Structure 1
Amino acid sequence: MTATLTPPRSGGSTPARTPSALRTELRRGLGPWTGAAVALTILVTMYNKGPGWQGRWADATNMLHVATGLLAGPLALAAGCWQGGRDRRRGTTDLWESVSRSPLRRLLVAVAPSVFWPTAGLLLADAVVLLATWPYVSGGRPYLELVAADAVAVAALGALGHVVGRVVRWRLTAPLLGIVGYVVMIATAYADGPARWLGPAAEHQFFWDRPVWWFGPVSMAWTAGIALAALLAYGLRPARLRPLALVPLAVAVTAAGLILRLPVDEGPWRPDPALARQVCDDGTPQVCLTAVDEKLLPDVSAALAPLNARLRGLPGAPVRWVSGLGDTRPGDVALPNTDQEAVRGRLVRPDLYLYAAVNWLFSDSCRPGDGTGPNAERASVIHLAVSEWLAPAPDDYGVDPTAARPYIDRLKAKSPAAQRDYLARYLAADSCRPDEVPVP
């Protein structure tokens, strides 16, 4: 019997595809854990400070910016340094260098986890924070160019840390580098002068502002240029090619020069007319907020309603309560900020806001030497009595009205007409001159 050999079918199974070196590097080592640590650090920090940012795009972006610079940046720097020294610690440097690739290509593959994972973790946290802000904002937009600039800064710090880890042969370099990075971030964030805007942690306060259009791209050029110059200076072989690292370094220096020309106080921020415009109710006196806080207008109007009912029609009473940078008119009185009492587009402490508004109404800019004399103490007690009569301080605010109680009782005992007459005389008096303050 003759055996017949059957050739294998041409459509048989193909051998498994070998994963690429880049994919393998991204899966190995500290990289994925670094991304998770960055995302968790940013999200926990933002969650703990939720009432301070979850109502305005500018507040959310600013808080993300500070958290990125002070926390994610040093973390990426330290993790990149540890990742950079991995092959030396394992004794696989010679094996890695035997791969048939150029030194620069090998370095770019090795540095990929130090760049990719912290950036991915940061962008994930940014997306969660911006989605959590979106339902509560009144207007404007998230400043995605600043979010992108922060992501590039974190990627650049990861790359710089990786290069340091390859150069410095010491196990404690990574944690010490993270500590140094944190100290540098704090120092630059709170430094005087435009140099503070070079770091990724400079804080900005005014929520009706927007950054100038070129600041985001220039910040990316500054941080990415420094990191790329370090990578080229370390990875280019032969040595005659290393002057090519001067090209990204020149770009970084040029970008830094543009940033250093910014104004010291405002930096890259300018008022946004669309957000700074006044939105008013139809009451008397009117209540006007900036458009960025338009959702707060009903709550603020309701909080001020008892005070407005007493002031309506009195000579010397405010014509409008205003906030922000809008054009002021005769009879306008500034409103207190809503930063402490507003949470997620709602006024959570209307009693405290009303008390603050009364004190802003009666505040005067006295010159040195004013507010003195034999009746100064009495005038101060009367001021406290009028404030407590119009808007009693909340119990947890720490105001003791005991000294003003006799005047408060006198005001409450007056008829409505007598109360209005006294309030008109009090509004007409100059509180910087204690002798002019009328006694109830």
Structure 2
Amino acid sequence: MSTAGSPSTVDAPRTAAGSAGSDAPAPPPAPRRRTGGVLWTELRRGVGPWCGGVVVVVCWVAMYSKTPQWQGRWTETTDMLRSVALLLCGPLAVAAGCWQGGRERRRSTGDLLASLARTPLRRALLAVAPAALWPPAGYLVAAAGCTLATWPYAGEGRPFLSHTAADAMALAALGVLGFVAGRLIHWRLTAPLLAAVTYVGLGIPAYSESPARWLSPAYQHTYFWDRPVWWFGPASMVWTAGLAGVALLGLAARRRVVALLPLTVACAAAVVLTHTGDGLWRPDPATARLVCDDGTPQVCVTAVDRKLLPSVSAALSGVNARLRGVPGAPDRWIDGPRTPSPGREQLEAAPGAIVRRVGEPVLLGPREAQLPSPFGLAERGRVSDPVLYANWAVSYLFSRNCPGSGVDTPAARRAAAVNDAVNQWLAPRPYAVPAPLPGDEVHLRRLHGMGPAESRAYLARYLAADLCRPDEVPVP
């Protein structure tokens, strides 16, 4: 029997049920999935991560195969990276974007996704994110590695970070354009076909002289002693990003008239780039200044190659030993801006003027000789083949722009054989290509048989002769 102050066993279930109905807390609402989580999920799956990894590998493999061409100069590093990123990885980004754009059609999930509360533009932004973000991310990783590889060996100048950012933006824009094409074109071969068209379209401007070539993100400027204007990179980013914005808004915006805004901005950037043209790059006095050693003859290179100076001086030490004190020999070797780029004064090569092998004129003093560019022979701050470089330098020393040089006469053949023998005597070729001229071996044996005084006297007579007149070239 229960007491009056305690509940009975009969009332206990009723009391418990009543307390459960009135005092129990309501179940918590289901957590709302954030957009950031959806974006991270999109970025982790699909073709995006694979595309970013392939971009890194392609860039590093292609750059490694051409290390001597870019590792010593910031301009060459930027140009080579741009060429590899856009011409090789650009088609890959377009193809990846096209494949990503056709994902919903392949999985037959278009109607399901359309039933969600997200707007079409928001769904498109989430879907395009892997194709738009992974290729530029991979390129930035590859560019960072190449920048670190160039840093210990580069001379004057600095990396062009704005151009690197513009290249990354161009890859992102190509991914977006490929995504839009994949949404609109229902054909499985669209991706490879679009990649091929992209490669051709990016490569054609390199062979054009039109100001519109500067609109191509893959167009290169390979003049070592120039620097871009500060707004070149940002303007290129506005141009490529504007094109991608037009395509994406035209595809998924609720009101497609808003696509006119990025179209207007992109057109304005295009007008500025094409109107400026070659003026997008300006001469840089800091990189063109001469840095010289204290030898005789003196060896001078520009500041952009100042870390090559000890190696260049060592390569020319044997030639300088034979030229030192000879009347008519050069007082110094000079490497500097040679090719007048567009907008600079174009020079006419006078008869007898010292010219490069490709026929480009050089302004030199009366006792100055032109050094060849170490392009292809500079590797990690040194000249990789000093024997070949010395032979190039001597060939430049005796190269002349002579009228009627193609005339084949006995005197011309004899003078050519003498010239080749003198070149071989001062700086032998590291291999027998090209083949020696007729009579070359005879003249070379005579030069090697001379004593020091006799060889210096002959070299003085040779330097004093007019090499454009074969009859005046002295025979050893």
Post-superposition offset of 1:271: 2.3
Distance 1:358 1:349 in 2: 15
CA contact under 8 A between 1:371 and 1:432: conserved in structure 2? no
Question: Paired residue for 1:251, among 265, 270, 277?
Answer: 265
Q: What SS does the corresponding residue of 1:395 show, helix, strand or coil?
A: coil
Deviations 1:306-357 (A, max 9, x none): 1112212222211221011298433221101101221111111110011111
Distance 1:352 1:9 in 2: 91
Post-superposition offset of 1:68: 1.1
CA contact under 8 A between 2:414 and 2:439: conserved in structure 1? no
Distance 1:182 1:320 in 2: 46
Deviations 1:270-308 (A, max 9, x none): 221111110001111110001111111111111111111
2:74 is aligned to: 57
1:322 is aligned to: 334
Trace 1:9-48 onto structure 2 (pairs within 5 A).
Answer: 18=33, 20-48=37-65
Post-superposition offset of 1:369: 5.9
The alignment's TM-score, normalised by the length of structure 1, stands at: 0.92
- Figure out how many residues of one structure are paired with residues of the other and give that number: 434
1:400 is aligned to: 436
1:66 is aligned to: 83
Question: Paired residue for 1:83, among 93, 100, 116?
Answer: 100
Residues 154/332 of structure 1: CA separation in 2 closer, same or farther (3 Å cut): same
Q: Between 328-337 and 242-251, report the one with greater CA deviation.
A: 328-337
AA at the equivalent of 1:247: L
Deviations 1:68-122 (A, max 9, x none): 1101111111110110110011110111111112221221121111111111111
Q: What SS does the corresponding residue of 1:105 show, helix, strand or coil?
A: helix
What is the aligned-residue RMSD (CA, Å)? Answer: 2.5
2:310 is aligned to: 298
Post-superposition offset of 1:373: 4.1
Question: Paired residue for 1:99, among 116, 123, 126?
Answer: 116
1:199 is aligned to: 216
Q: What SS does the corresponding residue of 1:61 show, helix, strand or coil?
A: helix
Residues 9/302 of structure 1: CA separation in 2 closer, same or farther (3 Å cut): farther
Residues 89/398 of structure 1: CA separation in 2 closer, same or farther (3 Å cut): same
2:370 is aligned to: 334
CA contact under 8 A between 1:322 and 1:335: conserved in structure 2? yes
Distance 2:405 2:316 in 1: 33
Distance 2:69 2:59 in 1: 15
2:458 is aligned to: 422
Post-superposition offset of 1:175: 1.3
Structure 2 unmatched runs, 5+: 1-8, 339-362
CA contact under 8 A between 1:371 and 1:434: conserved in structure 2? no
Q: What SS does the corresponding residue of 2:199 show, helix, strand or coil?
A: helix
Distance 1:95 1:410 in 2: 90
Post-superposition offset of 1:173: 0.9
Distance 1:39 1:243 in 2: 38
1:129 is aligned to: 146
Question: Paired residue for 1:311, among 323, 332, 339?
Answer: 323
Structure 1 unmatched runs, 5+: none
2:3 is aligned to: none
Residues 178/328 of structure 1: CA separation in 2 closer, same or farther (3 Å cut): same
AA at the equivalent of 1:359: S
Post-superposition offset of 1:371: 6.0
Distance 2:465 2:29 in 1: 95
Residues 1:361 and 2:397 are matched in the alignment: yes
